[in-house]
Chain A
Amino acid sequence: MPLEFDPAILGQEFDRAVSEPVTAEELIDFARALGETHPRYVEAGPDLVGHPTFCLRYKGNKFYPDSLPKNINVRTGFDAGKDIELGVPVRPGDAVEVRATLHEVYEKTGRTGRMYFVVLRLTLTNQRGEMLAVIDNRFMHR
């Protein structure tokens, strides 16, 4: 069934959440799990920052907006990829605000049939209003 939806749903914010302040220990554990050894990422102190992909752990409270086209079965999706644009690094004590919008919805037909893609955009900022990252999460549904 072809996708039919009101384009006005694109770009609408459907969720906003603010995290508890991040700790140095969380940043260090994350970096170490990637095998990272650079002091910038694994040594507590004033110079410690989060690994660039630490931002990927943040989500809103709501996974999908209510306004998705009805022919997308949200129970059958999987993670098809991500794009991340990086701003300033996460630092200990940062309270990260996540704003979620439905960025794009499209379909493709491949060898295995029709696929629907949903792109959620998460914009992350810290308590100073600085941009930490813009993350486009691409999910595929059959």
Chain B
Amino acid sequence: MPAFDDVEEGDELPARELFLEKDQVRAYARAAGQWSPRFTDDEGARREGLPGMITPGNMSMGLLVTLVESWAGPGCVRRLGTTFRGLLLPGRRIRLCGAVTEKNASARTVELDVWIENEDGERPVIGTTTVALR
């Protein structure tokens, strides 16, 4: 886990690349109380005008927190703000990414930009987060 003094503005978090399985999204939808065709079933999602089942925005936020906590340790996230700019489709590879944008010495926190990239290099989810470091 990085110490506050060892972190510099511009540092990038080790990106995490993963194949987002449809079954994982279904498991999330079940555990999160978001069981709905748009998150669980391609045909049901198409009936709602979507290209297929999509990933809940809340799950995107959860994945970004796992990225940040794998870098700075569990319980480090103080705030997370996200914008959902597009659809995050499961059944594809995604990349979870982050970079340090600012340090706050008095609070010993850092600000990060965080985002999810799809296979086309688009960023359907972007955000910022405040992270406490030791």
Contact surface of A with B, Cβ cutoff 8 Å: 26, 29-30, 32-36, 38, 40-41, 51-53, 56-57, 79-86, 89
Q: How far is the CB of B69 from chain A (nearest CB, A)?
A: 7
Q: Which residues of A contact B77 (CB under 8 A)?
A: 52, 86
Check if B74 sits within 8 Å of A41, measured CB to CB.
yes
Check if A53 sits within 8 Å of B82, measured CB to CB.
no
A33 to B33: give the CA distance in the assembly, Å. 12
Q: Which residues of B contact A41 (CB under 8 A)?
A: 74
Q: Which residues of B contact A36 (CB under 8 A)?
A: 66
Closest to A140 in B: B84
- Residues of B in contact with A, size category: 20 to 34
Q: Which residues of A contact B78 (CB under 8 A)?
A: 85-86
Check if A30 sits within 8 Å of B31, measured CB to CB.
yes
Chain B 16-31 against A: per-residue CB contact (8 Å), 1 yes, 0 no?
Answer: 0010000010011011
| Interface hits, B25-83 → A, CB 8 Å | 27-28, 30-34, 57-59, 61-63, 65-66, 69, 74-75, 77-83
Given A56-B61, A79-B57, is A33 in contact with B80 using a C-beta cutoff of 8 Å? no
Check if B80 sits within 8 Å of A84, measured CB to CB.
yes
Question: Could you pull out 8 A-B pairs where Cβ atoms are within 8 angstroms?
Answer: A33-B59, A35-B66, A36-B66, A38-B69, A40-B74, A53-B61, A53-B62, A85-B79
A21 to B84: give the CA distance in the assembly, Å. 31
Check if B61 sits within 8 Å of A51, measured CB to CB.
no
Q: How far is the CB of B66 from chain A (nearest CB, A)?
A: 6
Check if B84 sits within 8 Å of A79, measured CB to CB.
yes
Q: Which residues of A contact B58 (CB under 8 A)?
A: 53, 56-57, 82
A41 to B75: give the CA distance in the assembly, Å. 10
Q: Knowing that A79-B84, A81-B84 are A-B contacts, what are 12 other residue pairs whose CB atoms are under 8 Å apart, sorted by A's residue number?
A: A34-B59, A35-B18, A51-B65, A52-B77, A53-B65, A56-B62, A57-B34, A81-B82, A81-B127, A84-B79, A84-B81, A86-B79
